[in-house]
Amino acid sequence: MRRAEALIGGTWHEEQDGTRFTVHDPATGAALAEVADCGAELTRLAVDAAAAALPSWRAMAAHERAELMRRAAAELTERAGLIGEIMTAEQGKPLAESTAEVRAGAEHLLWAAEETRRLYGSTVPGAGADHRVWLLPEPVGVVAGITPWNFPVSMITRKLGPALAAGCTVVLKPAEQTPLSAVAVAEAFTAAGLPPGVFNLVPTSRPALFAETVMADPRVRKVSFTGSTEVGRELIRRSAQDVKRMSVELGGHAPVLVFPDADPVAAAAAVARAKFLNAGQACTSPNRVFVHRDVAAPFTAALVERAEAITPGVDMGPLIDAAALAKVERHVEDALAGGATALTGGHRLDRPGAFYPPTVLAGVRDNMLVCREETFGPVAPIIEFDDVDGVVARANATPYGLTAYLWTADLNRTLRVAEELEFGMVAVNGGPLAPPQAPFGGIKNSGYGREGGSLGVADYLDYKYLSVGLGR
Ligand code: NAD
């Protein structure tokens, strides 16, 4: 069993009274490691370190900051196999997905490193001949990050990359289910020579205490959160006290729209990839699959075939814990009781660990639980439709607004429907959603702020306006 600690000001710390929490393998339930369970005091110490490191980090030449970030990306890439194994042990996803995530996480860092050189300000025409207006980008300051367990490495680098590029320093709290991947990321940054205090890692099993401590600290100028809408809402409320900047990447309830002119087999293959990735535990996971009646039969057959080709425990991991498994069961049982049919899967597997098989439900109606709440599991609910004009309103009928998927060969329909969909991201005919150059993020109850692209870096910048009189 490993031991893991907090990284504060460049040194590894235990909680003073030795308090620790245990991390478990969701595939077996076995204890994997004991991790320092940081309380308010260590959290404040981490903010001290981030505040002390801020002046020199923000003043460092952009190309030097970029070089350190590139080195950290190289360290992560070099350790992708090792970190992947750690991630698979504590999160459950297959090793191929874990190592791919570490590499993708490094790509986010690299992209942000390049963006460091392009933190341009601007000049604006003044109010008169003797007036100049300049905009100067400045880092927001000390940032607190809170990340979820479903993508334990890339969720961290998607915050760290742009924050460090902007010249901010960071105190990050990983999810209590996956602190070991976060420790491995921190080790990579340390090996890369990042100055002490620029990135501080504070594992804890008491997330509310961490949030309370950083929210109460006026030195923390921004909180960047990825997780559930419920917790995000509470953090937004608390941020009002000190008027902190917030970025909140929250839950989703993604619709898929497969129109009659789409290739149903290609669409089904892409839906299977998006749906069963990470056992359906992704905020972008398709939650409602609207398929036009004309293509429903070949689409459904191809999706079932893909689902049945997946072997749980080999190609797909377990859910994160017993509560997640119970939620998936509740959603499927509700759908079956309401008249839906499980074409494959539909019940938990008779084996240890939180495994649920890839499941395809037919005959689903909009009022079922699967259509209203985020399932966060490997369940694809198919809803057939006839009314091409009405389906967009049905897709929009959710408080969430993160991702929508659209399948059509008709350019006019692509543009018309994409504009009507009330989501932060629309993937058309299988376009990838989270490359580093794209601004990932939602609207409505899915949150605000963007991660990735130049907009992602802008989330960590303030623009100071200089009004200059020439005094002639
Ligand atoms: P969660 O909100 O319970 O946990 C996420 C993080 O918040 C963890 O670090 C957790 O320790 C912390 N947290 C929990 N309670 C807290 C509190 N009271 N104060 C401060 N922090 C607290 O979410 P979860 O269920 O573990 O994660 C899955 C959710 O995350 C899903 O809703 C999913 O859609 C969402 N998610 C969104 C995105 C996105 O980019 N929009 C990406 C991944 C996951």
Map the chain to HEC letters.
Answer: CEEECEEECCEEECCCCCCEEEEECCCCCCEEEEEECCCHHHHHHHHHHHHHHHHHHHHCCHHHHHHHHHHHHHHHHHCHHHHHHHHHHHHCCCHHHHHHHHHHHHHHHHHHHHHHCCCCCEEECCCCCCEEEEEEEEECCEEEEECCCCCCCHHHHHHHHHHHHHCCEEEEECCCCCHHHHHHHHHHHHHCCCCCCCEEECCCCCHHHHHHHHHHCCCEEEEEEECCHHHHHHHHHHHCCCCCEEEEECCCCEEEEECCCCCHHHHHHHHHHHHHHHHHCCCCCEEEEEEEHHHHHHHHHHHHHHHHCCCECCCECCCCCHHHHHHHHHHHHHHHHCCCEEEECCCCCCCCCCCCCCEEEECCCCCCHHHHCCCCCCEEEEEEECCCCCHHHHHHCCCEECEEEEECCCHHHHHHHHHHCCCCEEEECCCCCCCCCCCECCEECCEECCECHHHHHHCCEEEEEEEEECCC
Residue with CA closest to ligand 1 atom 12: 207
| Structure confidence at residue 344 (pLDDT) | 98
| Structure confidence at residue 301 (pLDDT) | 98
Binning pLDDT at 50, 70 and 90, where does residue 1 land? low
Catalytic residue among 15, 90, 115, 249, which?
249
Ligand 1 centre and the CA of 111: distance in Å? 25
| pLDDT tens sequence across 196-206 | 999 999 999 99
Residue 129 has pLDDT above 70, yes or no: yes
Instruction: Tell me what the mean pLDDT of segment 305-316 comes to.
Output: 97
Ligand 1 centre and the CA of 149: distance in Å? 8
Ligand 1 centre and the CA of 225: distance in Å? 8
Domain(s) labelled CATH 3.40.605.10 in the chain stretch across: 2-250+446-466
Instruction: Tell me what the mean pLDDT of segment 175-186 comes to.
Output: 98
Instruction: Tell me what the mean pLDDT of segment 142-169 comes to.
Output: 98
Q: CA-to-CA distance for 284 and 295, rounded, in angstroms?
A: 24
Residues with CB under 6 A from ligand 1: 146-150, 173, 175-176, 207-208, 211, 226-228, 231, 234, 249-252, 283, 374, 402, 442, 446
Best substitution site from 151, 215, 231, 398 to test ligand 1's pocket, by max atoms within 8 Å of Cβ?
A: 231
Residue with CA closest to ligand 1 atom 21: 207
| Structure confidence at residue 432 (pLDDT) | 84
Ligand 1 centre and the CA of 306: distance in Å? 29
Locate tokens 């299988």: which residue? 430
| Structure confidence at residue 15 (pLDDT) | 75
Binning pLDDT at 50, 70 and 90, where does residue 3 land? confident
Binning pLDDT at 50, 70 and 90, where does residue 243 land? very high
Ligand 1 centre and the CA of 266: distance in Å? 32
* Torsional class of 415: left (φ above 0), alpha (ψ -120 to 50), beta (otherwise): alpha
Best substitution site from 150, 159, 320 to test ligand 1's pocket, by max atoms within 8 Å of Cβ?
A: 150
Domain(s) labelled CATH 3.40.309.10 in the chain stretch across: 254-435
Q: Which CATH class is domain 254-435?
A: alpha beta
Residue with CA closest to ligand 1 atom 39: 249
| Structure confidence at residue 16 (pLDDT) | 74
Whether residue 329 lies in the annotated active site: no
Ligand 1 centre and the CA of 364: distance in Å? 28
Q: Which atom of ligand 1 is nearest to the CA of 249?
A: 41
Report the CATH fold assignment for 2-250+446-466.
Answer: Aldehyde Dehydrogenase; Chain A, domain 1 (3.40.605)
Whether residue 90 lies in the annotated active site: no
Residue with CA closest to ligand 1 atom 14: 207
Binning pLDDT at 50, 70 and 90, where does residue 90 land? very high
Considering the chain, what percentage of its residues have pLDDT values greater than 90?
97
| Structure confidence at residue 190 (pLDDT) | 97
Residue with CA closest to ligand 1 atom 22: 207
| Structure confidence at residue 18 (pLDDT) | 81
Residue with CA closest to ligand 1 atom 19: 208
Q: Which atom of ligand 1 is nearest to the CA of 232?
A: 2
Binning pLDDT at 50, 70 and 90, where does residue 17 land? confident
Ligand 1 centre and the CA of 221: distance in Å? 20
Instruction: Tell me what the mean pLDDT of segment 153-163 comes to.
Output: 98
Residue 27 has pLDDT above 80, yes or no: yes
Instruction: Tell me what the mean pLDDT of segment 377-391 comes to.
Output: 97
Catalytic residue among 38, 168, 283, 371, which?
283
